[in-house]
Amino acid sequence: MNDGRVEEAQAQFREALRLDPGQLMAHLRLGEILERQGRIDEAADRYRLLLRLRPDLPDALFALGRLALAQGRLEEARVNLRRYLDLGPATTGGSPQAAREWLRRLEAPRP
């Protein structure tokens, strides 16, 4: 995936999930590929599935919060970004600084 061979990576992640539907990182990486392909709804569905498998996975919470924010699903964004920050995601692929800033904007009083 990192070498730009996205189609090959996508096929490998799908095969990994066929063999073991509980492969958390395969779900996460497949969501990332779907995002890169502009398949935002499918990516969000993949992150939601991942969170059903493991509700405390910071990377999935961050990714779903970011996507929800971009799609205007503000309450879903707020919930997922808050959960992400509550977990103290110091070593994840997300960005605590970005999550805090997005939440600040979401929770600011509206004129």
Non-local (6+) Cβ contacts of 44 within 8 A are 31, 64, 67, 68, 71
Amino acid 33 reads I
Domains and CATH numbers, the chain: 6-107 (1.25.40.10)
Amino acid 51: pLDDT: 95
Average pLDDT of adjacent 10-residue blocks, the chain of 111 residues: 83 93 93 93 94 93 93 94 85 81 86 66
Rounded to 5 degrees, what are φ and ψ at 94? -80, -170
Amino acid 15 reads E
Tell which residue, 81, 74, 87, has the closest CA to residue 100.
81
Contact 61, 44 (CB under 8 A): no
For 86, the enclosing helix (H) or strand (E) is: helix 74-86
Amino acid 3: pLDDT: 80
Residue 106 tokens, joined: 């979401």
Handedness of CA 87, 91, 92, 95 (dihedral sign): positive
Tell which residue, 64, 55, 5, has the closest CA to residue 33.
5
